[in-house]
Amino acid sequence: MGSSWRTSKTWLFVSVLLFGMAPLAGAEPAAAPAKKPDAPTCDRAAFRVVVDVGHTEEVPGAKSARGAYEYDFNLALAKRVEQLLREAGFDKTILLVTHGHAHPSLAERVARANASGADLFFSIHHDSVPDKFLEKWEYEGETRSYSDRFKGHSIFISNQNADPRRSLQFASLLGKQLKARDLKYTPHYTQKFMGHRQRILVDKDAGVYRYDQLIVLKDTRMPAVLLEAGSIINRDEELTMSSPERQAKISAAALDAVDAYCAIQRPVRPAQEAHRSAAAPAAAPVAAKPSPAASILQFFSPAKRTQ
């Protein structure tokens, strides 16, 4: 009786364990959560950006509140953008500097950009205001013009460009990157007092305007965007625009916008990804471990009990 009772109790204990572990013994291992697909990656080595320096030494553009020329601001910022892009792996970046008077220079830069096979044309400028807003002040013994009424950047595209949709796409990415760095665009281009300089705001969040007639935007055969980085006729903003800190912010915003745009338009080629996968060492197979229930059954098997 005692031996039979002990045997029954033992098998009852085993049954409880088996039924309690049935999912472990019979079920497949739980599937790992599905891995999210990786975000598109830019093929930086294949992507070509033309960084256009607005104006020329001969026709240097607007004068700042302290008498410096716009061309010098444009060149300094464009060089920072080019350097940052190249350091990030955009080795085909082109710094486009032209010479001569306005119309021949515009024709030359468009022709050179179109001949380059570029994926993106990015023109850098600095802003002023219509003459009616100018006031006078004395700086270093000379009478200068200024206007502190407006400040901030603005971004322009042309609907007459060969690819206006992608032009707007990059412009919006750029505007959002500038906004993420607490840089604000100027809304005054929407106002009636701007007269023939009034523009249509096509992306209110990013500060993107339409300027259909601009030659460098409408005649280039790739997506094209023009940035007015800030107002150098504003006395405070002029000093800010020449600072390394502001130039670094704008350059970083440009890099991130170019990288995001490139990832959409020119992602890393599938062949490259396949090559990387083939080069990776295969993982060694992992032997399956017996489940706890199977171990218990093996212990109470007839062969085990006869030992």
Please write the tens of the pLDDT for every residue from 57-90: 999 999 999 999 999 999 999 999 999 999 999 9
pLDDT at 125 over 80: yes
Q: What is the sign, positive or negative, of the torsion defined by CA atoms of 66, 67, 70, 73?
A: negative
Q: What's residue 14's pLDDT? A: 44
Read off the pLDDT of each residue in 84-102 and give the average, rounded to a whole number.
96
Query: Mean pLDDT of all residues in the chain?
Result: 85
Structure tokens at 63: 């004068």
Quote the CA–CA distance of 298 and 25 in Å, as a whole number. Answer: 13
Q: What's residue 40's pLDDT? A: 76
Is 78 within 8 Å of 12 (Cβ atoms)?
Answer: no
Residue 71 lies in a domain: yes
Domain containing 92 — which CATH number?
A: 3.40.630.40
Structure tokens at 14: 């085993």
Q: From 260, 44, 46, select the one nearest 166 (Cα to Cα).
A: 260
Q: What's residue 32's pLDDT? A: 59
In the chain, how many domains are there? 1
Residue 181 lies in a domain: yes
Q: What percentage of the chain reaches a pLDDT higher than 70?
A: 75
Residue 176 lies in a domain: yes
Q: What's residue 268's pLDDT? A: 82
Residue 292 lies in a domain: no
Q: What percentage of the chain reaches a pLDDT higher than 90?
A: 72
pTM of this prediction? 0.77
Give the alpha-carbon dihedral of 132, 134, 136, 140, to 10 degrees: -150
Residue 90 lies in a domain: yes
Say which residue the tokens 């060969």 belong to: 162
pLDDT at 206 over 70: yes
Structure tokens at 177: 């990157």
Q: Containing domain of residue 248, as a range?
A: 44-265
Strands laid side by side in the 154-157 sheet: 94-96, 49-53, 120-127, 224-231, 154-157, 208-210, 200-203
pLDDT at 96 over 90: yes
Mutual orientation of helices 244-265 and 164-180 as an angle, nearest 10°?
140
Say which residue the tokens 């206006």 belong to: 164
Q: From 240, 212, 238, select the one nearest 226 (Cα to Cα).
A: 212
Quote the CA–CA distance of 44 and 258 in Å, as a whole number. Answer: 10
Lowest mean pLDDT among 11-20, 48-57, 125-134, 297-306: 297-306
Residue 280 lies in a domain: no
Say which residue the tokens 């407006």 belong to: 150
Residue 127 lies in a domain: yes
Residue 285 lies in a domain: no
Is 241 within 8 Å of 126 (Cβ atoms)?
Answer: yes
> What band does 19 get if pLDDT is binned at 50, 70 and 90?
very low
Quote the CA–CA distance of 193 and 188 in Å, as a whole number. Answer: 9
- Give one DSSP letter per residue of 42-54, joined into a string: B-GGG--EEEEE-
> What band does 179 get if pLDDT is binned at 50, 70 and 90?
very high
Structure tokens at 125: 């400028």
Q: 145: which DSSP letter?
A: E
What size, in residues, is the chain? 307
